[in-house]
Structure 1
Amino acid sequence: MTSSSVPPAATPVHHGLAASLGNIRHLLVKEIISLWRDRALLILVIYAFTAAIYIQANGMVHDLNRATIGVVDEDNSPLSQALQDALLPPRFQPPVALTPAQADTEMDAARYTFVLNFPPEFQSDVLAGRSPKVQLLIDATALMQAGIGAANLTAIFQQEVQTFVARNGRKIATPAELQIRAAFNQGLESSWFTGTMGLISNITMLSVLLAGAALIREREHGTLEHLLVLPVRPSQIMLAKIFANGAFILACTLFAILVILQLIMQMQISGSILLFMAGTALYLFFTASLGIFLGTLAGSMPQFGLLFFLIVLPMNMLSGGFTPLESMPQWLQMAMQVSPSTQFVSFAQAILYRGAGLDIVWPRFLATFAVGMVFYGIALARFRSFLASQQ
């Protein structure tokens, strides 16, 4: 048998460190070129880290904004008028005068979120210290506006009544006074929170999607068979996909922080961006491994999409970014502590919002790295079996 009859798969494989690094480098370049040629996916990722973050931050406003309010004023006193004048934009639209007969009809028609009803002799009863009752009707189908608006209206009433009574030479005795000091976000800008959580959510979803799509793209284009005859190991192929897609997501993350959050949205980042990027790199090691693992299970992109919805979306929603972990059932809190997505949300908020340093977040970093290494081993074993089945 001549040497030319030896199949390519029998070519000796050099396992030295320099040879491994060289193989990974060449495969890394191939992955970057493949990603660059997939223009549709590239545009989706760029949109997710630019316009999508800005739209989510400013489109889903958690503050009271332009709430509709009607007023039934049966007192027509300076105090009731002062209270109406205190309902200022942008939290409220200008109050609309209603008659008592119109109040229920307008609420049933969902024209107003709030309807205030000042009783007769309201001002006289306040000055006499008789504590009159003011009725507030709330359309609770708009749940977020209803809860925030009720608190805002309570605060406005207390302040305006106390100011009016003080001007008339009387005092209202209060057993205690609550002094509020807002930390880390003194302006209470909800867009800072929603924008950052949108970025964190996109990091998770896009890193899994890119890694899984890279493997499925190899199989659909027939280039996976070419890799199988090259003197490369499965670990080198997998690491190249992790590093290439992870580096691209990391670059998009840095751009989103510097340009979208800081420059455009004027968000005040308290902690070290470099420390956050280091933690994100550890997290991307896990998510890219997860993407490759799902790619080995799925036979096509539609199947991969179904697995993505079943695994990644619940993991993302239960990570603590959308709903605090404390509000979840105790067993679910304990289960989600194992998930790197929970650790990622925790140290991201600590660094970006509260300025935490490595001395505070290192346990979260360590947990993310440990679970990432375990899952990398599981994904690599599955990837080896997958490659063996393709031969």
Structure 2
Amino acid sequence: MEAAARLFRERGYHNVSIDDVAAAVGLTGPALYRHFRNKHQILAHALTEQLGAVEAVATRALAMGAEPEDRVTFFLSELGELVLEREEALLWKRERRHLSGDERIEFREKLRAVLAMALKIFRSAYPDRRETDLELLSWSVLSVYSNVREYREKLDPGRARELLEVMARAILACALEAATSGSETYGPVLRTPQGRRERILSTATRLFDANGYNGIGIEGIASESEMALATVYQNFGGKSEILNAVLTRGAEGLHYVTRHRLGYAKDPEGALDTIVRTYIELALGPHGPLLRIVASDLIYLPDEQQQAIRKSEREYVDEWVATLREVLPNIPVVEARARVQSSIGLVADITPIAAMCSRPHIADELRILVSAVLRSGSF
């Protein structure tokens, strides 16, 4: 399971064969079938086991006969150890959509159980917080701990654990009742593009988000676009070209809109607020599916196209980092980057959760949470 999880993370579920998994542990394909019926069963077991590891940490924290604050400290410390030692510990964020119907239901129940345990740990230490607010805070803390991949090798392990706890406690200290701006301007896209190419891209974005790149064929994109297959091929050479166009459009759009808004920022504080607000607005709106597709399906593009989009992502993160260090000049670059990547990941993780996005002030709440993560600690 560990070897498969590592390969799924590095290459993507559909790019890994049973023989690849067998070779990684020194077995033949037939020998592997003595333990698992197929690759799908390995994935289901791996994802369940990974959530189980988080559940075990929460169980130990709740079993402590200690003060509530001590349980929070233990939970955050142990969770940090888990995610920093096991790079595949939270593979489920990307690959859970490959689960079958019953497996998906079982997985959701287990995920809700983990959230409920985290909520119980935090509730005991913050009894005056509203239950609905604690739920958002709990999701946000779990998100921070699931976005360590990009910086885990660049920080000393001890400092990384310390930084994770600092960001988590900054989240738990957030006063969400201060949120005032509504989110009524965010919702599903109501109009279908009239141009053929735009309609294909819009439909493909919706289908990739719902089914995954490998879960829909080009014939399905043509059908959902209400176009002949020949018309789709007149605009794109194949499904991979459509995916590349979708992701390139998203990356370029993110840069363009951000740069446009930044032109009106009067100082570093205003620039940082502009970057945060713009990203949240895009994530809550039509740009949101693109963030999920990048996280899940970029790996299925040819290497050259992947690298081009990853380069664009790095440059976008660089904009955040440079601006944050204008506001907090004493923060080390690597820690600024860790906070930025945690913040971007937090928004990307929370916005697909329907119960969270239905909160009346979610846009402002996300801004408060991101600001807390970025400014956590004293500089």
Q: TM-score, normalised to structure 2's length?
A: 0.23
Question: Which protein has the larger Cα radius of gyration, Structure 1 or Structure 2?
Answer: 1
Whichever structure has more helix as a proportion of its residues is 2
Whichever structure has more strand as a proportion of its residues is 1
